[in-house]
Structure 1
């Protein structure tokens, strides 16, 4: 590859810009970094925000996806070639052993460390950006996600936190000493463009465990419950919600007919579509069904007869990890990401 790049470099200034653009955007990330140092023309192309966006799109279409895990010493593996393992070197002195992987979007990883420290990190370029958030108490239920607002060209962090306590009765004291129930859920969004947090006023849902959002088309998605104590009394209603980063509002999606409180499933994405793995038992034998939403906002389709379950799990499966019946994995231990040049330090377009 290096020899081929050097031969092409002899044509510097002779090759049309559009042709150079098309050639470079198809290169793997490592080859492209080498190409960047070949000549000034190529360096200028690779540094152009429009090229960074085009390369990002090409990386998605070519399936250049990796899975990263193992905080604070991160390791990643390529989903196309699981033999290509390597460790990422990051400034570990800035992290405690409590650092978590909270989400990812367009090659950027969202990390959380401690009570209010957050980081945007590109594991491909090794660039790291820090910011702070509101204090987070240990033991709170948390939903996190990183998304992209294409209208303002800004990355945004969504944080949903529930603080609650149960009634405690002391049989040695009068009823007037009964401790009251405290149950408050708050949602905030952080804009990387403005470097500021904003509270989302309306969140009529209940979360029961930690969850990493499933980001599709830049929007993070979760499985939650209606605030049944207010709206439905004793009923528990399962809801699929996503956060519209443009309007900065939570919206609901249709759900599969089988999705109820007692359902057993994993929720995530596969090949650019929202996806469920539904676990059922028939005659003491576990059955796993694959359900996908072909177009965002439309109905769910059972594609079990068309897609091998092993293909979904082993290649391209990216899941959020909330409730005990929601997924069989723990949240915040890993995330998928695409190799990209997107910079956490970038300007208005957050691209280069």
Structure 2
């Protein structure tokens, strides 16, 4: 039997494809796969490393982001201390695509639990917070950068509040940290950087004067950045839920006009999360998600902040209804609705809205809990919150549930919005060294 040789049966060389066809094929692959392909040959290394190709890949990836969530192992029940932490990613079909350990061994043995700082204006980087420290992470290239420590709050020492986002106007990524004393938001510090900075990035916090808000305001959740303005849901001295903003250019806090159906009354224990509002950036505009009527008519109202173009001031602006989001198609009664982000899709009709919902809980017997356990997580661990993540296909008006990964079910029950985020696969490298 004749032995075939390369001369009489030449192999099909992947690298011999035309550049435009090669770019079309490679741009559909994950960054982690492309990083491995760079080791195959010099041509693939140069091709994948080319900024034009990386930009093409980024533009395609933005249309089909992945859902990332934290999977943390706690030292014991009821504790906020963890001994391992993974950042997991799923595509819109519910398939696990990334499974990255943030730390291992002694590096994390004494660490508090992580939170994801939600951001709708940026999905390239993931901002994490833990114990008065922020981290920037790009799971696509397995990079984790620790930012300089922040000034701890006198009130709620370990409770981090602030925000993270991207400003297209200044082409900057911005992290903000709020410091609280016993009566108000006492001060804030801002760290900003651009990936176009030549050389290593010198991370440094800019600190602003104390007593920026002299009256009682306490932010219970992370804020969001809409261009150059951060927004937070806060509690005032009468425990009413309000919205404040911080303009990065003017370096001032302002009160935002109240929601058209009035603020929700809360109690001294904080915001009633089953009736609370959600702030979200939709197409570069601040929008407010009102789930207050979802338990009655299974409809979520979306409002947009209309800023006065003459005065350019939120205090003289108003809210207008953008659209209603129907949830009547579910076979259970939705109690709460929290948006995770808007997905453009790749042009084949798969664009839609990603969100998680709550449909009640069941109280479990917690009589066997140890007396010395910390109570921080008992509220979540002793109740079975029926939370689930869903994707709404706009074209077909179809709802699809993420349920292939058991850990995602656990994360959506326990972690709520600060443990879930959208991420765009990208080659973004933070040049801090």
Q: Tell me the TM-score normalised to structure 1 length.
A: 0.66
- Greater CA drift, 292-301 or 260-269: 292-301
What's the TM-score once normalised by structure 2's chain length?
0.56
- For residues 134-153 of structure 1, the aligned pairs below 5 Å read 134-137=150-153, 139-140=156-157, 142-153=160-171
The count of residues paired between Structure 1 and Structure 2 equals 301
Distance 2:140 2:222 in 1: 21
**Structure 2 residue 348 is the aligned partner of structure 1 residue 340:** no
- SS state of the match for residue 58, structure 1? helix
Deviates more, 1:95-104 or 1:263-272: 263-272
Q: CA RMSD in A?
A: 4.1
Q: 1:66: Cα distance to partner?
A: 1.4
Report what 2:315 is aligned to. none
> Which residue pairs with 1:223 in the alignment?
233
Q: In the alignment, is the contact (CA less than 8 A) between 2:115 and 2:130 conserved in 1? A: no
SS of structure 1 residue aligned to 2:296: strand
Change (3 A) 1:162 1:288: farther
Deviations 1:75-117, CA, capped at 9 Å, x for gaps:
42425122427631223343333042242533322223334x3
Which of 229, 232, 239 pairs up with 2:243?
Answer: 239
1:111 equivalent among 115, 119, 128: 128
CA distance in 2 between partners of 1:215 and 1:221 (Å): 6
Instruction: Tell me if the contact between 1:147 and 1:218 (Cα under 8 Å) persists in the aligned partners.
Output: no
1:40 to 33, 39, 42: 42
Rounded to whole Å, the distance in 1 between the matches of 2:52 and 2:292 is 43
C-alpha distance in structure 2 between counterparts of 1:39 and 1:78, whole Å: 30
Higher relative contact order (Cα pairs below 8 Å, separated by 6+ residues): 1
Residue 191 of structure 1 corresponds to which residue in structure 2?
A: 192
* 3-state SS in 1 of match to 2:276: strand
Report the Cα offset of residue 276 of structure 1.
Answer: 0.8
The 8 Å contact of residues 303 and 323 in structure 2, kept in 1 or not, is answered as: no
Q: Is the 8 A contact 1:143 1:210 kept in 2?
A: yes
Shift of 1:36: 3.5
1:55-134 matches, within 5 Å, as: 55-61=57-63, 63-71=64-72, 72-78=84-90, 80-84=92-96, 87-92=99-104, 93-95=106-108, 96-103=110-117, 105-115=122-132, 117-134=133-150
Deviation at 1:186, TM superposition (A): 1.4
